[in-house]
Amino acid sequence: SASKVEDEAEAWNHAVMLGDTLKKDEMLEHSAETLMHRLFWEQTLRVFEPLHPEFHCSCTREKVGDMLKMLGAAEIESAIAEAGRIDINCDFCGQHYGFDPV
């Protein structure tokens, strides 16, 4: 509902306003729990266990090959004619994929 969205926006703006009062030294010297208590002492806080995301690229030789197929045979043949092969590096993980005429 519109009032829920407005309430959430107001809560966010309030949190940002309080966060802006922190000084660099405070953030470096105190734990997150201490800072949250200082800023939000009037509210009931719930603290969740931290997540530790890990990067995993989903690229595969097959997916890169499928991308090349989308370029069309003429484009692929032209690229192979210039260099004898097509070399592609994944922009996310740096994995190298080489394709020759075969």
pTM score of the predicted model: 0.47
pLDDT at 1: 64
Task: Quickly count: other Cβ atoms within 10 Å of residue 68's Cβ.
Answer: 17
Distance CA(20)–CA(52), nearest Å, equals: 26
3-state secondary structure of 28: helix
Note the pLDDT tens digit of each residue in 16-37. Answer: 999 999 999 999 999 988 998 8
Q: DSSP letter for 50, please.
A: P
Q: Please, where are the H alpha helices in 1-102? A: 2-19, 24-29, 32-39, 61-71, 73-83
Note the pLDDT tens digit of each residue in 53-95. Answer: 898 999 999 999 999 999 888 988 898 888 889 999 999 999 9
Residue 15: φ, ψ to 5°: -65, -40
Distance CA(29)–CA(78), nearest Å, equals: 60
